[in-house]
Amino acid sequence: MGHAGAELIVAPSLLAADFAKLGAEAAAVERAGADWLHLDVMDGHFVPNITFGPLVVKALRPHTKLPLDTHLMIAPADPYIAAFAEAGADHISVHPEAGPHLHRTLQLIRSFGKKAGIVLNPATPVDSVAHVLDLADLIMVMTVNPGFGGQAFIASQLAKIAALRRMIDASGRDIRLQVDGGITPATAAQVLAAGADCLIAGTAIFGKPDYAAAIAEIRAAAPGRRPDFAVSAG
Ligand code: DX5
Ligand code: ZN
């Protein structure tokens, strides 16, 4: 994984699911063809919304075999890394602004045998990951301000995605480039063209009646994955 042309990963964000039946929703997107399940953890302090913590991750774990891609929007994050790891999170991603020692936080995540991720807010520069690439398995570009689903895609982030793709490729490292926020089939095509290889989508999947069709529509946005499109004109 982690290079341009790597197989596209689609990760539905459970934030847009029915919170009264999270286990069933997780199983439903697994059946519908999801690759990973994205879990948005919010503390009402780092971001202006509150969701759930490690107890809910632990409760979800038996309902799906999908890797749990856990996005921590909490500050501080370090005191809770062990709890999320023990709850069954497979990937744990943090924002550099959530604590003063990103390098140490990534080391801590890896010490539990988990994949470590760095999440960049719209104003956070690409340089914030440059000196910790050796500790990153995932880099995620926020194309909305974190805190809520259903917001509009911030197109200024396309240049950041392209810059990170160049940085990752130049490093030769095995790092996934994720995009989170405002992903639809139309914006998916833009971020994939810019070099992303993992798409997080909440509203565009859980907001649709047919999850399998919604996931397929997002996958179809990938360049080179639409042979029918090119030959169907005649
Ligand atoms: C926002 C979260 C996203 C959110 C995306 O803070 O990190 O994962 O679920 O929702 P949509 O796809 O609706 O923009
Ligand atoms: Zn997220």
- pLDDT tens sequence across 182-224: 999 999 999 999 999 999 999 999 999 999 999 999 999 987 5
Residues 10-56: pLDDT tens digits?
999 999 999 999 999 999 999 999 999 999 999 999 999 999 999 99
Residue written as tokens 């000196």? 131
User: Catalytic: 228?
Assistant: no
Phi, psi of 7 (to 5 degrees): -60, 135
Residues 6+ apart with CB under 8 A from 41: 51, 52, 53, 57, 70, 71, 72, 73, 74, 84
The answer to whether residues 92 and 81 touch, using CB atoms and an 8 Å cutoff, is yes
The residue to mutate among 19, 42, 43, 180, having the most atoms of ligand 1 within 8 angstroms of its beta carbon, is 180
The residue to mutate among 120, 203, 208, 215, having the most atoms of ligand 1 within 8 angstroms of its beta carbon, is 203
Which of 118, 111, 62 is closest to 87 using CA atoms? 62
The answer to whether residues 15 and 149 touch, using CB atoms and an 8 Å cutoff, is yes
Distance CA 101, CA 160 (A): 23
Pick the residue whose CA is nearest to atom 7 on ligand 1.
146
User: Catalytic: 43?
Assistant: no
Distance CA 2, CA 64 (A): 24
Is the distance from the beta carbon of residue 95 to the nearest atom of ligand 1 less than 6 Å? no
User: Mean of the per-residue pLDDT values for the chain?
Assistant: 94
The pLDDT score that the predictor gives to residue 13 is: 98
pTM comes to 0.94
